[in-house]
Amino acid sequence: MTGPGEEMHALVERLYPLCRSITGDGVRATLDIVGEYIPLQVHEVPTGTQVLDWTVPQEWNIRDAYVADSTGRRVVDFAASSLHVLGYSVPVSATMPLAELRGHLHTLPDHPSWVPYRTSYYKPEWGFCLAQETLDALPDGDYEVCVDSTLVDGHLTYAEHVVPGQVADEVIVSCHVCHPALANDNMAGVAVAVFLARALAEQRPYHTYRFVFAPGTIGAITWLARNAERIEQVKHGLVLACAGDRGRLTYKQSRRGDSGIDRVMRHVLAVSERPHQVNEFTPYGYDERQYCSPGFDLGVGSLTRTPYAGYPEYHTSADNPDFVSPEAMADTLAVCREAFSVLDRDRRYVNLSPYGEPQLGRRGLYEALGGRSDTKQAQMAMLWVLNLSDGEHSLLEVAERSGLPFDTVAAAADALLGAGLIKE
């Protein structure tokens, strides 16, 4: 998986510098780059559109911003990093003493060399983010302050990519595209989603896979509002975020706790023997909380490495491309592919010879296992599949109950199906 890991990391490096927000040209530029990798259907939703209990806000764009000292030297400069400006800052052009300016400055005293990420989406405000050590070095005096931004009626932008399946039932994969200059949160999630979509397109998946690239919260809410009439097609879902740090994998379950994706992710992580953690659902975090809101109650979980706010670099300038690793992104991608493989192959069967154990030897089933390193496991899998093929138990349930890997159980089912002992 080194190859995809390196390619994903290169995509993160391309996306990282762009100034993204919940609306604006930064989102469009991000989707333009994603569109070089996979075809996208881009949607523009006008300001003022009612989306569930929310309203699409005005569109924000920014050209320049800085704080300059009396010599004209920029001591805080948007051109150096988009994190330096409070997201959604309204325009300002003024000169003021440092004492007055301090009320608009945001730092991280516990990490004096890092710049924080801060926003003010729904309250008109302006501000700057800077390193504490930079602030400490500023002498008293007057400073020129400029935020060259616009906040006007426009659009909220999001995009979709669909990998057609054998059935119309959908799996949604959702990631947010609104954070500026943050590599793990969430350009690593975007990169993994892109390469997951490409991998799925190389095969003929059973489910239809719909990838949603949208701003956090308001983007997912907008997507749900615009797709409410067809929401019953969504059978499973996964929110991808923080996909590239070196921490262990963390899966947050859906609101239901026993949805198909919950069971698949628990099984895949357990049998892989990867270091991991499975957390219960909470109504806070990423967009799984929108998909799992009680009116929709979709079976959507969330896959991260270190979870939301769980690492010091979270929402700071230290979340840069060096913080994410190709190996970690490749591992996240591999887990997603393994999980969706299980999801696509999970079936229920009926035993066509349910009275007593059918004779497997005369059907050549035992001989077919000869030479396999897991012959005993494979034999047990056949017996388990036969016993639980009553139309009620799925192959994943067989794997869970038997303690056998899903791949072994699925292979046993294929053999039994070929021998005419079970039917779907």
Query: What is the distance between the alpha carbons of residues 396 and 341, in angstroms, rounded to a whole number?
Result: 12
State whether residue 148 is helix, strand or coil. strand
- Asked if residue 176 belongs to a known ligand binding site, the reply is no
- Asked if residue 393 belongs to a known ligand binding site, the reply is no
Residue 260's alpha-carbon distances to 11, 17, 128, 218, 294, in angstroms, are 31, 37, 44, 26, 17
- Asked if residue 32 belongs to a known ligand binding site, the reply is no
The one-letter amino acid code at 402 reads: S
CB 389 within 8 A of CB 351: yes
State whether residue 301 is helix, strand or coil. strand
CB 147 within 8 A of CB 125: no
CB 329 within 8 A of CB 191: yes
Query: What is the distance between the alpha carbons of residues 157 and 146, in angstroms, rounded to a whole number?
Result: 27
CB 127 within 8 A of CB 100: no
For the chain, how are helix, strand and coil distributed in percent, rounded to 5?
Answer: 35, 25, 40
Number of helices (H) and strands (E) in the chain: give both, helices first: 13, 19
Binding residue numbers for Zn(2+)? 179, 185, 315
Binding residue numbers? 179, 185, 315
